[in-house]
Chains A and B, each alone.
Chain A
């Protein structure tokens, strides 16, 4: 029985659901074992062990990171202690840029002034006709609320704009593919322009090193070419699930 077709549910449905997901496993470990990769695995092992090992170093940075986490914790918990009188502006700025953060202020997602801030940050991110960044704001806000443990989440402005830009990327790709499948050249041009704009936007460049690859796709679209670079073979299917028409083909 398909669990999600059942009008009533029991505790056993959760296991059925997991089994359903298990059957949707794109690549099982058994398939990997049968894929004839033994020589490649062995070669990698040999090359790895040619490298030196090293003892983990306890650097002074570790202390800095601990202090940073503690400071952020104090900032976040203080809002709760003040009876909910808190702002999205934590006043906390990470001292160093990391792989997934810059040095801009951490923004608390459960604060009352977070939604208007999000709207102001994303309102100019272009989406295809019939879609908009603002229409997606409520969903984004809901996504970012604290979990059952109540621990507040924080994000940064670049992360917010990056997320919406990525949604726009998916939407523009879907828009172009729909036009391509319908042989509508005017709409194709609109779609290609939209993708190029979003791919080369400051918001995208700030968070995603793949923006030139996305721009390459836009250039192909502008030339009427539905293909994508090899490294993006399944990219839209995997990353834009739920967006109609992201796979070209007519």
Chain B
């Protein structure tokens, strides 16, 4: 009993440390990729429920954050295709988020009245899901190509090449917007229904 109890205490300590070190970053990742901040609270609960259940699989140190991004990425990809029943684990956080001023993206207009934020967001929206993911993981989460590789499960060399192409395409889209050319298409933020060879 004492051994199991000690193990459990270690698990709790590790989980608490991991949670405190990473929950803001993971919530940010989710909020930036959902249309409603309150929903991000439920997704956050789902991510950390996976982490808690699999706490002994969670790597140590900063690698834990990358592991959690990878889980969050899968949770987000699955989210809109499931008719889920929420168990309200994050009820209070959800309420606080609803009362906060984190309602994107209207707040950005005050930040950048020249409209450049809107141009960038529009350009991002025109990228394919893969390009957009690489660009935003770099710019918003501050991840290096090697870290992104761990999150998305691809070799670092592949990530570097794809990131280079994604930057080029983003630049092209921004130039198109500057020239006031209408987009020929829109892209869905949440990718899905694509089977890939891993």
Contact = CB atoms under 8 A, between A and B. Distances in A.
Contacts of A242: 122, 125-126, 183, 185-187
A37 B52 contact: no
Nearest to A163: B188
A123 interface: no
A163 B193 contact: yes
Query: Is the contact region of chain B dominated by helix, strand, or loop, or is it mixed?
Result: helix
Contacts, number: 265
Contacts of A152: 197
B116 A99 contact: no
B192 A100 contact: yes
Nearest to B40: A27
Most buried by B among A22, A44, A209, A244: A44
B186 A234 contact: no
Contacts of B37: 27
Contact of B94 (A26, A40, A140, A148): A40
A141 to B, nearest CB: 12
Interface in B77-134: 77-78, 80-83, 89-97, 100-105, 107-108, 111-112, 116-117, 120-122, 124-126, 128, 130
B194 interface: yes
B140 A25 contact: yes
A21 B136 contact: yes
A151 B196 CA distance: 9
A208 interface: yes
Contacts of A23: 111-112, 116-117, 120
Contacts of B117: 23-24
B14 to A, nearest CB: 11
A35 B171 contact: no
Interface stretch (A52-60, A110-118, A189-197): A52-60
Contacts of A27: 28, 31-32, 37, 102, 104
B188 A40 contact: no
Contacts of A76: 197
Interface string A39-74: 111011101110111111000000000000100110
Given A23-B117, A152-B197, A234-B105, A37 B97 contact: yes
Contacts of A26: 31-32, 104-105, 107-108, 121
A56 B54 contact: yes
A244 B182 contact: yes
A36 B96 CA distance: 7
B64 interface: no
B196 A29 contact: no
A48 B49 contact: yes
A145 to B, nearest CB: 10
Given A147-B161, A241-B124, 13 more contacts: A17-B171, A18-B139, A21-B135, A24-B121, A26-B105, A26-B108, A40-B93, A43-B91, A147-B165, A148-B165, A209-B80, A241-B189, A242-B126
Q: Which 6 A-B pairs have the closest CB atoms?
A: A241-B125, A159-B193, A40-B93, A26-B104, A4-B174, A21-B139
Interface of B: 8, 11-12, 15-16, 19, 23-25, 27-28, 31-32, 34-37, 39, 41, 44-45, 48-49, 52-57, 77-78, 80-83, 89-97, 100-105, 107-108, 111-112, 116-117, 120-122, 124-126, 128, 130, 135-136, 138-140, 158, 161-162, 164-165, 167, 170-171, 174-175, 178, 182-190, 192-198
Interface of A: 2-5, 9, 13-14, 17-29, 31-33, 35-37, 39-41, 43-45, 47-49, 51-56, 69, 72-73, 76, 94, 99-101, 106, 135-136, 139-140, 143, 147-149, 151-156, 158-159, 162-163, 166-167, 170-171, 207-210, 230-235, 237-244
18 contacts: A3-B174, A18-B135, A21-B140, A23-B111, A24-B120, A27-B37, A40-B92, A40-B97, A43-B91, A94-B195, A100-B193, A166-B188, A207-B192, A207-B193, A239-B188, A240-B125, A242-B126, A242-B186
